[in-house]
Amino acid sequence: MPFNPSQWQKHLAGDRMAPAYLLVGEELLVLEAADAVRAMARRLGYAEREVLEADSRFDWDDLARASAGLSLFATRRLLDLRLAGGRAGKDGGAAISEFVVNPPPDTTLLITATEWSNKHEAVWTKTVDQGGIQVVFNAPRPHEWTQWIGARLASRGVKATPDAVAMLAERVEGNLLAAAQEVDKLVVLAGDQRLDAATLESLVADSARYDAFKLTDAAFAGEGGRALRILSGLRAEGDELIALMGWLVNQLQLAMRLANARDFGAQAKAERLWPAREQLFRKALRRAPREHWMACLARAARIDRMAKGREQGDPWLEAERLVAAIAEPRAATVFA
């Protein structure tokens, strides 16, 4: 099984390298993890490193030649394999598996890929998992942001009150790179002082990145407060409501097709939904009957007409009511 974060941190503090590492997932986290492996390798006497860029033109025999070659200085070596697209193909899978099954002495293979999903799993990834170490780095989920920010601040030596951590988590929600940059900035600006919310607000720009995809996901997940906050952010950033409503209507139409289907699973497969999004809609449709989603779709069409000036009303206000109704059907009175 892939290592969890606590296992990974414990391994990095150890005194023995694995024969192979497979680090995949969110780009920033993967790059940082790879840096940690390189630092560990230097600490343990790996004096040589060879970088292999495995793009579409890569000759996988180069991996075999690199692993079979002798060190110039009779030292330990790290082979740094960057796997473009996250797929090794038949030849690549065979080459990696051969390395892991018969690892050369004093040589470690580090494989990184920043494009990854369950579809990338293959025989060679299972071989690495069994003979080496695999870690999947996912971006924090919405309810994990505060804990992740707090841990990152602490790891950089920044002392912050819980309300300051919560404020920073809200400001950079959904933007991993912005979160990392803000924490790094606070390392310089905060010094030894303990940050409270007021101090933090004066130091940090509002880097939250909102988009229509996060809005609909939050709404269908039943996260009303977060969905409304994203909607407010979109409006503040000057996004066009017409374009936003186009995507919202699209997702409501998808919800209706799923609600009308005799076989939800078959329809979800036909819609090519990822497992996580299939569960998102499955849970959403359980919260309200089919009639509610029909009413939501009708209201969305009306808001679209308002945004285009074809009907009277405040389209942004109505959009807030619609988002609230999608997220919390039982509490919604908008369609009463």
Pairing of the two strands 20-25 and 76-83: unpaired
Give every CB contact of residue 248 below 8 A, 6+ residues apart in sequence.
Answer: 212, 215, 216, 300, 319, 322
52 strand-pairing partners: 81
> What is the distance between the alpha carbons of residues 200 and 66, in angstroms, rounded to a whole number?
49
pTM: 0.67
> What is the distance between the alpha carbons of residues 185 and 182, in angstroms, rounded to a whole number?
5
> What is the distance between the alpha carbons of residues 85 and 55, in angstroms, rounded to a whole number?
8
Q: Side-chain half-sphere of 236: how many Cα atoms within 13 Å? A: 11
| Model confidence pLDDT, tens digit, residues 205-248 | 665 667 888 899 999 999 999 899 999 988 988 888 988 888 89
In this prediction, residue 16 has a pLDDT band, given cuts at 50, 70 and 90, of very high
Q: Hey, what amino acid is at 19?
A: P
Q: What is the residue-wise DSSP string for 149-166? A: HHHHHHHTT--B-HHHHH
| Model confidence pLDDT, tens digit, residues 83-124 | 978 888 899 999 999 999 999 888 999 999 988 877 788 899
